[in-house]
Structure 1
Amino acid sequence: MGRDEEIGLIRRCLDVRSGPRALLVLGETGTGRSRLLRFAEETAAASGAPVLAARGWGGEEPAPFTSLHRLLLPVLDVPDLFPEDRWPVLRTAFEPGAGAGPQERRALGAVTLAVLTRLARTNPVLVAVDDAEDCDDASLDVLFSVRRQLTSQAVTMLFTARGEAPPPGFPADLPALRLGPLSPAAAARLLDAQPDAPRGRLRLELLRKAEGNPLAVVELNRAKRVGAGPVPAPGALASRLDALPQDTQRALLHASAALREEELPVLMGSLGTDDLTVWTPAEEAGLISIADGRLAFGHPLTRAAAFHRQPAKLRQRAHRDLAAAAGQSPAYRAWHLAAASIGPDEAVASALERVTAVHALHGGDRFAATKALERAARLSRSDEDRARRLAAAMAAASDLGDPEWVRDLYTEFSRVNRDPDLRCVAACAMAGALALLSFQREAFGLLLDTWRHSPPRTAAASFALTALAAAIAHQSGLPEHREELPRLLDRARQVAREAPEARDDRAGRSGPVTPAGLAEPVDRGCVAGLTGPGVPAALEAYVSASIDAHDGSAARRAPVAPPGPLDGPAPLPRLLADASVAYHRDESELCAELYRQASTSQGACGAWGSRVWALANHVDTLIAMGRWPEAQALIDEGRSDAVVHRLTRVGLDLEALEVTLRALRGDSLPDIPFTSPHWRSVNLGENQATRARMLRAGGLHALALGDAQRAFHHFRALFGEDGAPIAPFLPPRSISELAAAAQRAGRREEAARVLGAVRAALGERPTTRMTLLLHHAAALVDEEADPEHHFRLALVNPDADTWPMERAQARLHYAIWLRRRRRPLEARAQLAAVLEVAVRLDARALADAARGELRATGAADVSASVSGAAERMAELTAQQQQIARLAAGGLSNREIGERLFLSPRTVGSHLYNVYPKLGISSRHQLRDLLHDD
C-alpha cells in the first residue's frame, strides 16, 4: 500500500525491451523492500519469466558463493543449460572449503553469464537478491561482474539492502530506489486493513508512533490487540537492544520516554551525567543518532520497544527523572508528571491543563493539546473539573478534525457533567462530529435539544450554535432543517441584545474550554476564536445568507467586507464565515482569497477540523474559476486527511469533485466514476449536498462519454419534481449543464420547466453568475425565447471571465447555433475564444469540440496561434495572469486593485511587466490576444 510510484518503477525495470536493467532497493527495516521484491518475482513469474532468487543469511558470514549457489540451484538440473566443460567449475566452486580467489570468481562469473544468456533467449529473466548486505562477498562480486558484461540480454537484476545508503562494495553506478515512510493516508489505509484497527485517539497515536513505517503500523496494532505487553521488535532490532549494556538500556528508556521535541541536554540531566559515551553502544548498533543537540531513533519500533520492554516502575522513574531535569520546560515537566501519575492529582492536572495544552495549541499541535486535556481530565479529583477539562478536550479534538475522538470524549463527559453551560460547548463539538460522520439528523437534533435545555448565554456562543446549525442544514438539504434556521437566528439575536458584551456572570470560575482562550471562562465561546473581533457579526451574516439562499432575498447581494489583517487565530472563524457568505453570493474571487487566508491561518494553528467544513466549497470555487491545479492540490491533501481521520463522507465529497474536474479536463475516466469502497455507507438522504456533488459529477462524466440521456438523468435528479433544488447553490449552478444535456437528449421541455422554477426561486435580482447561467440555459431550452438574445446576455458581462469554463461553454453553444444558421465568420470568432480558454485550462474535450466546430465552419486550424498565446500566458505568474485577464475584460487599474486588494500603482507595475512578455504594448492588444470580445 502506498507504493504506487515504486511499483511503477519495478514494472519498468521488468520491461527489458530496452536491454538489461538493474536496481538496488534501499530502506530501513519494515519499509517493504522484501515485499516489493516478491511483487517483482510474482509479476515476472506470471509472465513466464524464469526467476532466480536468493537472500542474505542474516547471521554469521556464509561460505563463499553460498548465495550464488542458492540463486542457481533451480536451474542446475536443466538439460543443455550448462556446457559440459563448465560442470567442473560449478562442482569445485560450490564444494565446502572451496577457494574464492580472483580466478575462481572469474570462472564462476563466466558460467553465470552463459547461463543467464541462454535462459534469456526464450524469456526475460529476473535475478532477485534480497538482503544483499548479508550475502557473501564472493557471490555479490560475481553478480556485479555479470551485470557489467550483460549487453542486450533480457535480464533484470534486482537487489535489496537495509539502510539509506548502498552497502560498502556496491557499484557506484547501480541505480538505487530509496523507500521512505508511507504517506499519512497510505499508513492509515494499512492500519485499516489490520484486524481490530483502533479509532479516535488510539488510531492517531498509533499512526504518529509508526512514523509511516509499514512494519511499525502492523506491529503496534498487534501489540494493542494482545494487551499491554512489550511491543515486539524485529529480530535484528531485538538482538541489538538485548546486547546493549545496562546503563545504555537505561539511557534508551529515558530517550524513549522523552518527547521528540526535548533536547539532549535535558535528557542528559535526567540521567544525571554529561558523559555522552553512554550512548556509544546504541550509536554503534545503529539504533540511534545524535546530531545538533538532539537524539533520534533509527526506527520507530526501537523507540517503542526500548520503552515497553522495561518494567512499569522503571518507566515511571524515567518520567519523574525527566520532569526533575534541570532546564526542563514547564510544559514538558507537567506532561512527564502526568505520565508518572497513577491516580488523581489535581496539582498535576492543573499544570497539564494550563501549561501543556496552551503550549501545544500555540505550537499548532492539536493532537498534543487534546491528549493533554484528556489526561488532565482523568487526573481530576472532582467531576466538575473533569467535565470542564473534557469539554476543553472536545473543543480541541473538534479543531483537530477527529470526530471519533470527540464522540469518545462526549460519552465520558456525559457521565460526569452537571453544568448546562458546559453542555453547550460539548454539544457544539459533538454535533460537528456527528455531521462529519454524515449523521446530519442526529447532529441537528442535538443542537435543537441544546437550545431547549441549555441555551447559550453569550452572543458568540449563540451565533456559533446557529452557524453550526446552518452548516448542517446546508449539508443535509432537509426542509425541516431549513425551516428551523430563522427561528434559531431570532433567538441568537435576542441573546446578543440581552448580553451584547458577552459577559459571564460566573467570572470567578476559570479553566479552558476553547483553544483560543484556555484560561477564559467556560461559556466565552464554543469554537476557536469566537471572541475575536467581528466574529459574532460574521457568523450572523453567514446564517442570514444561508436563510436568504432559499428565497432569493436581496440580502444575498449585500457586499462582503474584506477581512482585516491576520493577527493570530482569532480571525479564523470570521474568515471562514465571510468566505462562506461570498461563496453563497457567487463572489468567487473574494471567496477564493478569503479561503486562502483561512487556510494559511488554519495551517499555522493546526485546525484542520474547521478547514474540513469549508474544503468542498473552496475546491468548487477554484474549479469554477479555472484554477484547476490549485483545486487538485486541495483535493489530494483533503483526501489524505479524510483517510487519516476516517471521514468517509468528506472523502466522497472530494472524490466527486475530482471526478468533476477530470470530466471538465476531458481525462479518460472509468465507466463507474466513484471507486471508493465505502461510499455506500453514507446516507445520501440526509447528505443532499454530497448527493448533489455526486450527481453533477456523474452528469459531467456522462457528457464526457457522449451519453446525453444518462447525463440528463443525473442533472435532472438535482431537482425535485417541482423543480426545487435538492440542496442550495450547486443544483442551480448546474442549470446550464442540465440544459445542454437536455438539448442533446431531446428533453428540452422538461428542462425548461426546471429552468422556470429556478428562475422563480432566485427572485428578480439573482447574482451575476446565476444571471449568466440562466441566460445560457434559456438560449438552449426555452422555446419561447430568442436564443441569440440570451446567448449575447450570457456573454456580454466582462465579469463572466471569473468563471472561464462556464463562459467558454456558452460561447461554444452560441457558435454551434451561429454555424447552423450559416453565420460561420461570427461562429469562428466565438470558437477562437473557446479554444484559447480550453488550451489555457488544458480542457482537452472542450478544445477538441472547438476544433471540430472550427473545421465545420471551414476555418483553418488556429490551434497553433492559440497555443502560442497560451504559452506566453503560461510564462506569467498566477497574479499577473489574473491581472491581465481582468484588464482584457475592460477593468481599470483601480477596479482591478479593488478586486485583488492591490493598489492601482501595483496593478500598473504588473501590467508594465506583462506587456513585453506577451509581445504587446496596449490594453487593446491584450484584449485581442485573449480573444475577449
Structure 2
Amino acid sequence: MEAHEREPIVGRDPELARLFRVMDSETGDPVLLLLGDVGMGKSTLLDRVVRRAEAGGARVLRAEGSEPESTLAFSALHQLLRPVPAEIDGLPERQRAALHGAFGAGPATADGDLMLTGVAVLSLLSALGERGPVLLVLDDAQWFDRASLDVLSFAARRLAGEPVTMLITARVGDRLPGFDRHVPTLTLGPLDDAEAGRLLDLQPHSPTGRTRTQILDQAEGNPLALTELARAAAAPGAAAKPPPAGPLPLTAHLEKIFAARLDDLPAPTARALMLLAAMDTVDSAIATPAAVPDAQDDAWPPAERAGLIRRTGHTLRFSHPLARSAVYHAAPLDARRQAHLALAGLLRDEPDRRAWHLAAAATRPDADVSAELERTADRARRRGGHAAAAQALQRAADLAPRSEDTARLLVEAAAEAALTGDLAWVEELATAVRARTDDASLLAEAAAQVGRLAVLTVRHSVVFPRLMDAAEELAPAQPSTALDVLAGAAVVRYYSGQDAQRHRIEDALRTLREDASPAWLRTWVRTVSDPFDDRAGLLALLPRIAAEAQRRPDRLTTYAVMAWLLDETPRAVRAFDEAFDRWGSRGALPEGLGGAAAWSYVELGRWGRAREACARSSAVGAAAGLEHAVACAAAVDATVLAYQGDPTAARARADEALALIDPLESRSVSVFARRALGAAALAEGAYETAYDQLRTVFTADGAPVHYHASYPALADLAAAAVRAGRHAEADAIVERAAGTLAGNASPRLRALINRARGLLADPEDAEPHFRAALAESVLEHWPFERAQTLLDLAEWLRRRRRITEARVPLTEALETFRRLGARPWIERARAESRAAGLDVTDAAPDALAELSPQQQQIIRLAAHGLTNREIGEKLFLSPRTVSSHLYRSFPKLGVTARAQLRDLIEGPLATADHRD
C-alpha cells in the first residue's frame, strides 16, 4: 500500500458513508458530485472508495484532471477509457469510429458528432456493466477538457438502471458544464476544532504549544493545510522559524510550503520536477519522452520524501495540484521556457501537445507557433472539440505578429466558442475583435457569432436589443450581415413573443435595401416575426425557397420551419425528413426554433419521431448548456406524453420546461408547456384544471399571450370550458381570435375555431360548426385534431338521438386514436361507441396501451428490425435500458420473441410512424 493510501481520514465519516451508499445502492442516483476547496480531502476520500470498490470486484475507471491537458480535446475521456481498448473495438461500427475519431486514432466522424460519441460511451459502460459493477472516478474535473465533460455529462444523465456509478470531484465555485444542474452534491467543509486537533495528533511529529495553536489558526480546518503545516514545522531548522503568517490566502501559504522544499533537492531532481510540472504526469507504462526520467529513475525518491510527488503503480504525479503549481511558479521564467521547449522537441509525434508547449514557451509574437495552434484548432474542430479549438485559436491570436491575423483568429475563435454555448466567452472574444480591428467584415462576423448563440439563451430581453443595435449599425455598410443578425433577432422575437419587438424588426427591415442578400432571409424574418400578417404573400414565396433548399440542403430546415409556422405541416415534415436523411441532425447547437421539427411530427401524428427529435434536441441543448433548447424539447415531449395517456410524466416534463425559463422572457415555451399541462388534465378528465392551464395562454382580456403558439389551444380551451362551466369567457376568447385572424387564418386554424364554436354553441346550433371544421380537407394532416372533432360531432349526434349517423365518425375517430396510441381518447371513443350500439371489442393491439410511451417507441423500433444498440443510438439510451424495457413489455403484449412484434403493431403504430 502506498504511503498516501495509509493516511487516516479524520472527521469525514458521514461523507465517506454517503459515498459508500452511492456505490452500494442499486436504486439511488448513480452520480454524485463531491465539492470542496483545495486541500479538503476530496481525492483522499475517492481513493478509499476506489479501494473498497476494487475489493468488492468492481471495475474502476479513473481520470484525473490536469491543467496542462485541459486544452486538449477528449484528453480526459481518453485517460478514462484507455484501459478498455478491446471493449471499444467491440462497439458497433459508427460508435467505435466516433470514439476512435475523438481520440485521434482514426478519421473524425462527420461534424464531430458529440452525441454519437456520448452514445458510444453509454454503450461501452453498459457492456462493462454486464460483467459486474463499474465505478467511474472523475477527479479534479474542473480541469477536464470541455469535450470530455460534454460526453461524460451526456452519459451521466442516462445511467439510471445501469450498474455504473460516477463519482466526480471539483473545487467549490468552479463551473462544471453539464454537471451543474440536478446532480446530487456533497460539499466538504472544514474540520471542526476537535477533528483538526485529532488530525494533528496523528502526524508523525505532532506539533505542540504555540506552534500547534498557530497551525490550527492558520489551517482553518483544512486537512491538507494541517498536515503540511505540521510537516513544515517538524522539518530540520524549522523550530527557529514560525509558520508562515500574514494576509496571504491559505493556498498561497501552502504553495510557499511546497516551494520551500525545493531548496534541499538535488539538481537532477529539481530538473525532473520542472519537466513534470510542465508535463503533469510521468507514466512508465506508456511512452514517456526520452529526456524525462521515467518512474523508476533515481531522480524521484528525494521528491517523494519531500512530499512533492506520489507514486501510483507505474505513474508519478504531484502529491497535490498546489505542489505542481509551487514547482512551476518557483522556477525562473527561463527554466520554465526551457522545459516547455524540451518537451516540444520530444513530442513531434503528438502535434497538439507540442503546439501548446511551444505556445507556453513563447514570450513574444511568433508566426510559426501561431500557425501550429491553428492546425491544432482545426484538428480539434473536426473531432468535435469546439472549446479546445476556440482556446487554441485565442492563443494563436495572442501570438500572431500581424494585427489583421489577430482579429481574424479571434473571429474564428468566437465561431468555435459559440458552439460551446458559452455566451460570455463569445462576447469577450467579440469585444477583443472590436479592440483590434476596424475591418467591417470581421466586425460583422463577430457580431453574427454573438447573435447565433444569443438567440438560443434564455436572456431574450437582454439579447434582443443587442442584436437589433448590431443589425442597425451594420445595415449601411454590411446589409447582408445585418439581415443575418436580424434573422436571429426574429427568432428571439418568436421565443419572447413581445409585440414591441415586432415593430422594431419591421422598421429595421424597411431600412435594408430590397436587394440585400440572401433574399430568403427577408422571408424568414417576416415569417418568424408574424406568420399571420400576410400569410398568402408568404405562402407564395415558399416554392422558390424550397427550390433553393434543394440546391442547398443546409437550408432545408429553414424552409421547414417557415412551412410549419405557416401551418403547412406536411411540407414541413417532408423537408425535415429530407434534411435529416441527407445530412443528419448532428450540429453542435440546436437550430433556431429547433422545436419546430418535433412539433411538426406531433401535428402530423408521428409521435414516435417527435419524441426522437425531442431527445436529440434535449441532448444537444444540455451538452451546450443551453437551457432554453432543453425547455423547448421538454414542452413538446410533455404534449406527446399527455396525448399518449401518461399525464404524470407529461406534468413532470412540462414542469421541467417551466423551471428552466422565465415565462415573461420565453412566452412561447411557457405557452407550449401550459398547453401540455392542459392536455394532461384533459386526458384525466380534470376539466377545471385543464381550463385553468389553457386559460393562461391568453391574457386577461382574451388576447393571445403568444402570437403563434396560443392559437392552437382554442379548441381544447373550449372543450375544457364547456365541462368546467366557463362557457361565456371561452366564447369571448374564441371570437376575439377569429376576428384577429380574419382573412389570414390557415385552414387548420379555421378548423380549430369552428370546432371551438361547435363546442360552445347552443346545442341546436352546433352541427354547422363541426361540419365546417371537418370540411377543411387539410385537417386530415392533423389526424389527432381531426379525430377529436369527429368524436365531438359523434357525441353531439348521439345526444340528438341520431345514433346511426354518429357511428361513422365514431368508427373513424376510434381507428385514428388507436393508430396514434392516444389512450385516453381511445377510452372516450370506445365508451361513446358502446353507447351508440357499436360492438367494440378489445382488439389485441390495445395491449400496447398498457405500455409506457417510451416502451411503445422501443417496441415499434424493434418491430422494424432495429437491434437494441440501434434503438439505443436513436433514443439516446443504453442497450441494457432498451433490453430492460423489452423484457418488461413482452409479457404485457403476450409475445415471446421479437419476430412477433411486427404483426402485433402493424395497425396501431407502424402506420402512424411508417418512416421511423
Of 148, 153, 162, 1:184 maps to 153
Query: What runs of 5+ residues in structure 1 fail to find an aligned partner?
Result: 1-29, 44-57, 60-128, 136-158, 167-172, 232-244, 259-263, 290-296, 501-535, 882-916
Corresponding residue for 1:583?
564
Corresponding residue for 1:734?
713
Q: Is the 8 A contact 1:579 1:590 kept in 2?
A: yes
- Larger CA Rg, structure 1 vs 2: 1
1:337 partnered with 2:358: yes
**CA, structure 1 residues 163+230, in 2 after alignment: closer, same or farther (shift >3 Å)?**
farther
What is the letter of the counterpart of residue 163 of structure 1?
V
What is the letter of the counterpart of residue 713 of structure 2?
S
Corresponding residue for 1:366?
386
Note the 1:888-899 alignment, pairs <5 A: none
The DSSP-based 3-state class of the residue aligned with 1:613 is coil
Q: What CA distance in whole angstroms lies between the structure 2 residues aligned with 1:691 and 1:829?
A: 38
Of 482, 501, 523, 1:541 maps to 523
Q: What CA distance in whole angstroms lies between the structure 1 residues aligned with 2:674 and 2:491?
A: 20
Corresponding residue for 1:163?
60
What is the letter of the counterpart of residue 793 of structure 2?
Y
**CA, structure 1 residues 344+273, in 2 after alignment: closer, same or farther (shift >3 Å)?**
closer
Q: Is the 8 A contact 1:836 1:866 kept in 2?
A: no
Corresponding residue for 2:290?
271
Q: What CA distance in whole angstroms lies between the structure 2 residues aligned with 1:486 and 1:847?
A: 46
The DSSP-based 3-state class of the residue aligned with 1:730 is coil
CA deviations on 1:5-34 (whole Å, 9 max, x unpaired) are xxxxxxxxxxxxxxxxxxxxxxxxx99972
Of 642, 661, 670, 2:640 maps to 661
Corresponding residue for 2:809?
830
Structure number with the bigger relative contact order (C-alpha 8 A, sep ≥ 6) is 2
Deviation at 1:178, TM superposition (A): 2.8
Q: What CA distance in whole angstroms lies between the structure 1 residues aligned with 2:539 and 2:476?
A: 30
**CA, structure 1 residues 439+40, in 2 after alignment: closer, same or farther (shift >3 Å)?**
closer
The DSSP-based 3-state class of the residue aligned with 1:614 is coil
1:791 partnered with 2:770: yes
Corresponding residue for 1:146?
none
Q: Is the 8 A contact 2:644 2:824 kept in 1?
A: yes
Query: What runs of 5+ residues in structure 2 fail to find an aligned partner?
Result: 1-15, 30-43, 63-82, 84-128, 139-151, 159-165, 190-223, 226-248, 256-268, 301-309, 866-901
Question: Structure 2 length normalisation: TM-score?
Answer: 0.60
Corresponding residue for 2:727?
748
CA deviations on 1:811-855 (whole Å, 9 max, x unpaired) are 221221122122334434333333333333332212222222223
Corresponding residue for 1:554?
536
Q: Is the 8 A contact 1:619 1:631 kept in 2?
A: yes
Q: What CA distance in whole angstroms lies between the structure 2 residues aligned with 1:565 and 1:216?
A: 52
Q: Is the 8 A contact 1:812 1:831 kept in 2?
A: yes
Corresponding residue for 2:398?
378
Corresponding residue for 2:675?
696
> Structure 1 vs Structure 2: percent identity of aligned residues?
27
Q: What CA distance in whole angstroms lies between the structure 2 residues aligned with 1:864 and 1:325?
A: 72
Corresponding residue for 1:198?
174
**CA, structure 1 residues 638+405, in 2 after alignment: closer, same or farther (shift >3 Å)?**
farther
Q: What CA distance in whole angstroms lies between the structure 2 residues aligned with 1:644 and 1:800?
A: 37
The DSSP-based 3-state class of the residue aligned with 2:133 is strand
What is the letter of the counterpart of residue 178 of structure 1?
V
**CA, structure 1 residues 198+36, in 2 after alignment: closer, same or farther (shift >3 Å)?**
closer
Corresponding residue for 1:613?
592
Q: What CA distance in whole angstroms lies between the structure 2 residues aligned with 1:252 and 1:864?
A: 71
Q: Is the 8 A contact 1:334 1:348 kept in 2?
A: no
Deviation at 1:419, TM superposition (A): 4.9
CA deviations on 1:28-79 (whole Å, 9 max, x unpaired) are xx99972424658999xxxxxxxxxxxxxx99xxxxxxxxxxxxxxxxxxxx
1:446 partnered with 2:415: no
Q: What CA distance in whole angstroms lies between the structure 1 residues aligned with 2:604 and 2:316?
A: 46
Q: Is the 8 A contact 1:287 1:298 kept in 2?
A: yes
Deviation at 1:482, TM superposition (A): 0.6
What is the letter of the counterpart of residue 568 of structure 2?
E
Deviation at 1:750, TM superposition (A): 2.9
Deviation at 1:162, TM superposition (A): 5.0
Of 397, 406, 410, 2:417 maps to 397
Note the 1:812-827 alignment, pairs <5 A: 812-827=791-806
CA deviations on 1:157-188 (whole Å, 9 max, x unpaired) are xx56453799xxxxxx9983334589515869
Corresponding residue for 1:520?
none
Q: Is the 8 A contact 2:277 2:328 kept in 1?
A: no
What is the letter of the counterpart of residue 456 of structure 2?
L
What is the letter of the counterpart of residue 446 of structure 2?
A
**Aligned pair count?**
671
Q: What CA distance in whole angstroms lies between the structure 1 residues aligned with 2:862 and 2:550?
A: 22
Q: What CA distance in whole angstroms lies between the structure 2 residues aligned with 1:658 and 1:639?
A: 10
The DSSP-based 3-state class of the residue aligned with 2:664 is helix
What is the letter of the counterpart of residue 862 of structure 1?
T
Q: Aligned Cα RMSD in Å?
A: 5.8
Q: Is the 8 A contact 1:550 1:761 kept in 2?
A: no
Q: Is the 8 A contact 1:423 1:454 kept in 2?
A: no
**CA, structure 1 residues 164+333, in 2 after alignment: closer, same or farther (shift >3 Å)?**
closer
The DSSP-based 3-state class of the residue aligned with 1:792 is helix
The DSSP-based 3-state class of the residue aligned with 1:163 is strand
Corresponding residue for 1:481?
501
Q: What CA distance in whole angstroms lies between the structure 2 residues aligned with 1:761 and 1:416?
A: 50
Q: Is the 8 A contact 1:323 1:333 kept in 2?
A: yes
Q: What CA distance in whole angstroms lies between the structure 2 residues aligned with 1:863 and 1:445?
A: 58
Corresponding residue for 1:97?
none
Q: Is the 8 A contact 1:377 1:390 kept in 2?
A: yes
Of 602, 609, 628, 1:623 maps to 602
Corresponding residue for 1:147?
none
The DSSP-based 3-state class of the residue aligned with 1:690 is helix
Q: Is the 8 A contact 1:37 1:130 kept in 2?
A: no
Question: Structure 1 length normalisation: TM-score?
Answer: 0.59
Q: What CA distance in whole angstroms lies between the structure 1 residues aligned with 2:636 and 2:621?
A: 14
